[in-house]
A and B are shown apart, each in its own frame.
Chain A
Amino acid sequence: MDELELIASGAEANLYRGRFLGYDVVVKYRVSKPYRDVKLDLVVRRDRTLTEAKIMLLAMSLGVRVPTVLYVDLENSVIVMEYVEGMLLRDYIGLADEGVRRAYLELLGVYVGKLHKNDITHGDLTTSNVIVSSNGSLYMIDFGLAKISNDVEDKAVDIHLLMRSFESIHYSMSKELMTYFLRGYRSVLSPNEVNDILNTVKEIRLRGRYVEERRVRRV
């Protein structure tokens, strides 16, 4: 691999663009955090790198589009993956017209439905972790906090995080976005599964420290 160009510096990893085996690639390097104990730092970076690579392969096998993983170096917390040209869904949402927005949100619902049906949770599901590629496909990224889990709680946390990303960034259309997303999500999972998950989402939100709905009386 030759010249690497830093293209993004996220919260936990630096992303470099380069060429690898003739492919246009992204090198994701989880950087050491000087504010973490050295031992904890090693565990966190190694675990997340391994999880991300494993789950991306699994997701791909389920028909959820993710950048293709080409190489993993656990010792250095590095993953080399296909470069996807495009835009973050977060930035795209405001620009797209309603029909396009609906189509992408529904497709995201289908993707997340497929993951959840197979007991995979993303762990950091926000509109910043979805790419709309220049050729119109939708890719999910950033699986570092993903898990294999059949626990309804973990699936519900995914939905809760996505809802909050709608509410904190796309507040004016958060209801609309959620409706589209759920349409796709329900098309994959059984009504019972969806109900269980959505009830748990409600419960998680009520568990938050300060939630108005829990208030029972006025004094």
Chain B
Amino acid sequence: MIVVGIESTAHTFGVGVVEDKHPYILADKRVNYIPSRGGIHPREAALYFMDNAVNVLKEALLEARLSVKDVDGIAVALGPGLGPCLRVGATIARALATYFRKPLIPVNHAVAHIEIGKLLTGFKDPLIVYLSGGNTMILAFSDGRYRVFGETLDIALGNFMDTFVREVGLAPPYVVNGVHKLDMCADEGRNFINLPYVVKGQDVSFSGLLTAALKLFRGGVYDLRDICYSVREVAYTSIVEVSERGLAHTKKKELLVVGGVAASKVLRTKFEVLSALRGVKLGVVEPKYAVDNGVMIAWTGLLALKYGVTVEPERAYVRQRWRPDSVDIPWMS
């Protein structure tokens, strides 16, 4: 079985082609929209996707040495994400499915991050820490779905990091050579300054930390490098703490870190310490597949198609706030 997957939830337009046997990944093509200033402007990103989508699709099929006629299904990330961006991928997927009479498979972007992580690490039933620009969630499979055990009550970790470095004048660009500007700045800090450390049960919250950190910066008393160090320490540690709570709570033996923010070395080290402490296996998805990509959508679409999960093109609405815990996962049951 071969499935084409289309990702266009935020700043990446990607097309992946996968097969249900080794080496699984037949093609992986993507383009990234990089704003010249500020953050992602959804309309600008969508326009960029429209200009590039056909080429990316063609290149992916070329790499897989396939025509759309040869595949068994078209998978598309219908959410969660930015509306204008989602609609580009959805429109292309609906058109392909209709024209070539192929099943259209709706894929939840968060579930796709989890499934590609499991494929790459070989994990079966992990506690999942999903960290990206727009998402901060602790999930675990239970009774048919990935249940949310903890999440941010306001902004996501990646969003928090981006906003902080932008406001203090360190970004854009936010990431250079795979290293986030907050990590770069924090690596030079030495002294810890006390900042609000917010853990509410299994949940975290970053808005108070952001306000306090920016106030500290504008006060002009402290060295920015020490502020960066303290901000990072508080933010990362609170995530690791709620992960530990999730492990204690669910008793899972595997810990899987997925999403674009998983690339941070310091965060990874903290998770290594945690996994040694609790005697669990740690899997961190390699940066190439931790960030948004079409392969994860194709792979999850393939798993879903085997269980007959499809959608009529005219009903394939995009869902900007589609929660992963509302999606049935028949392949895990």
Residues of A that sit less than 8 Å from B by CB: 9-12, 33-37, 39-40, 43-44, 123-126, 128, 145, 157, 161, 164, 167-169, 171-172, 204, 207-212, 214-215, 218-219
Contact = CB atoms under 8 A, between A and B. Distances in A.
A164 to B, nearest CB: 7
A210 B322 contact: yes
A35 B203 CA distance: 18
Nearest to A36: B237
Residue picked from A207, A210, A211, most chain B C-beta under 10 Å: A210
A167 B199 CA distance: 20
A37 B228 CA distance: 13
A145 B201 contact: yes
Contacts of B253: none
Contact of A164 (B83, B148, B156, B199): B148
Contacts of A218: 317
Given A168-B148, A211-B323, A161 B192 contact: no
B312 interface: no
Interface pairs A-B: 8 shortest CB-CB: A210-B321, A11-B248, A161-B201, A11-B245, A35-B270, A35-B273, A39-B192, A124-B201
Contact of B200 (A123, A167, A214): A123
Interface of B: 79-80, 83, 87, 134-137, 142-143, 147-149, 151-154, 156, 192, 194, 197, 199-203, 233-234, 237, 240-241, 244-245, 247-249, 270-271, 273-274, 277, 317-323, 326
A11 B249 CA distance: 8
16 contacts: A11-B245, A11-B247, A11-B248, A33-B244, A35-B277, A36-B241, A37-B237, A39-B192, A157-B153, A161-B203, A164-B148, A209-B152, A210-B321, A211-B321, A212-B323, A218-B317
A168 B247 CA distance: 14
A141 to B, nearest CB: 14
Contacts of A208: 151, 153
A172 B203 CA distance: 23
Contacts of A164: 148-149, 202
B128 to A, nearest CB: 13
Contact of B154 (A9, A34, A207): A207
Contacts of B202: 124, 126, 161, 164
Contact of A215 (B197, B234, B247, B321): B321
Given A33-B244, A37-B233, A218-B317, 4 more contacts: A36-B241, A37-B237, A123-B201, A168-B148
A5 to B, nearest CB: 19
A126 B248 CA distance: 13
B321 A40 contact: no
